[in-house]
Amino acid sequence: MTQRDLVIIDSGGANIASVLFAFERLGQKAVLTADPDKINAASHVILPGVGAAADAMTKLRAQDGLIDCIRGLTQPVMGICLGMQLLFSFSEEGDVDLLGLIDGRVSKFKQHSADMTIPHMGWNNVVLEQPDHPLLQNVGQNVGQNPAQSPFFYFVHSYRADMNDHTIGRCTYGDDFTAIVARGNVAGCQFHPERSGKAGAKILENFLAL
């Protein structure tokens, strides 16, 4: 695989080490940094994240010029888990404005039944709304969008992005929500591709090929 100048933004998330190791397994080196100059110079950028949206935005704002840098990137950018949520406009978690790279809201799961646990944790299938999208090439099949034919990924989250015009993969947990999103050079996965076996690894590989 062609080596990319891959940067992982040092956002303080607990999943950073596992993301680094996932790319190492693909033979891809990555640099962890919050330096806007290094991020701007990268060919591909990952925005990881675990925790609360308001805390994450506070950490990003604490790094001089980092938010403006992220908003101005033109190379491929992927948000993972909370990092995906940060790409949107607003989160109910702390009533906080986010990066605004994709229009839409992040809201808390609704408790539909007594046995529905929140957070949504574990393996769940994702229906590929646009299976021909470059990010989803050879990830899985869902004939007739049958969930039973869809690839499975590993989730851990209490808030989710609403379905929107840029949803390319959807998951159902009580309600449908955005599991994979893509708009221009920006994409995101609500699940953890670095912990999602072959399907997750394929998404990371496809991202590097963008």
> Tell me: the pLDDT tens digits for 157-195?
999 999 999 999 999 999 999 999 999 999 999 999 999
Instruction: Indicate which residue of 44, 120, 166, 192 is catalytic.
Output: 192
Average pLDDT over residues 144-162: 84
pTM of the model: 0.94
Whether the per-residue pLDDT at 36 is higher than 90: the answer is yes
Q: Where are the domains of the chain?
A: 6-209
Instruction: Indicate which residue of 81, 166, 171, 189 is catalytic.
Output: 81
d(CA 77, CA 6): 10
| 194 is annotated as an active-site residue | yes
| 112 is annotated as an active-site residue | no
Q: 207: which 2 tokens?
A: 């991202």
pLDDT value, residue 143? 46
Element (H, E) at 82: helix 82-85
Tell me yes or no: is domain 6-209 CATH 3.40.1260.10: no
| 192 is annotated as an active-site residue | yes
Mean pLDDT lowest for which of 10-24, 38-52, 95-109, 131-145? Answer: 131-145
d(CA 210, CA 198): 19
pLDDT in tens, 120-141: 999 999 999 998 999 999 997 6
Categorize the per-residue pLDDT at 12 as very low, low, confident or very high, splitting at 50, 70 and 90.
confident
- Say what the alpha-carbon torsion angle 156, 158, 161, 162 is, to the nearest 10 degrees: 120
Categorize the per-residue pLDDT at 116 as very low, low, confident or very high, splitting at 50, 70 and 90.
very high
